[in-house]
Amino acid sequence: MPESPKMIGRVTRCSTRGFVGAMQISENALPVFGSLCQAEAQGGRSYVVGLVYDISITDDQFARQLAALDEVPQEQIADGQLNRQVPVEFSALAVGFHDDDGFHQSLPPQPPLTLASVFSMVPNDAVDFTSELHFLQMILNAPQLPVDELLATSLRLSAQARPEEERERFLLQAGREVARLLAQDLTRLENILRGLRAKE
CA dihedral (22, 28, 29, 34) positive or negative? positive
Which three-class secondary structure state does DSSP give residue 5?
coil
For residues 144 and 187, which CB has a smaller minimum distance to other proteins in the complex? Answer: 187
Burial of 11 from C-beta contacts in 10 A (0-12 / 13-18 / 19+): buried
d(CA 84, CA 176): 44
**Residue 183 binds other proteins, judged by CB under 8 A:** yes
**Residue 171 binds other proteins, judged by CB under 8 A:** yes
Separation in Å, CA 17 to CA 27, 60, 67, 110, 130: 27, 29, 36, 10, 19
- Site size toward other proteins (CB under 8 A) is 16
For residues 136 and 178, which CB has a smaller minimum distance to other proteins in the complex? Answer: 178
Q: Given candidates 81, 197, 198, 199, which one binds other proteins under the rule CB under 8 A?
A: 197
Q: Given candidates 40, 120, 189, 195, which one binds other proteins under the rule CB under 8 A?
A: 189
For residues 12 and 160, which CB has a smaller minimum distance to other proteins in the complex? Answer: 160
Which of the stretches 12-20, 27-35, 82-90, 180-188 binds other proteins when contact is defined by CB under 8 A? Answer: 180-188
Residues 78-117 binding other proteins (CB under 8 A) are: none
**Residue 184 binds other proteins, judged by CB under 8 A:** yes
- CB of residue 167 vs other proteins: minimum separation in angstroms? 12
For residues 22 and 178, which CB has a smaller minimum distance to other proteins in the complex? Answer: 178
For residues 166 and 190, which CB has a smaller minimum distance to other proteins in the complex? Answer: 190
DSSP calls for 28-86: GGS--TT-EEEEEEGGGTEEEEEEEEEEE----HHHHHHHTSSS--HHHHHHHHHS-SS
Which three-class secondary structure state does DSSP give residue 176?
helix
Residues within the interface to other proteins (CB under 8 A): 171-172, 175-176, 178-180, 183-184, 186-187, 189-190, 193, 196-197
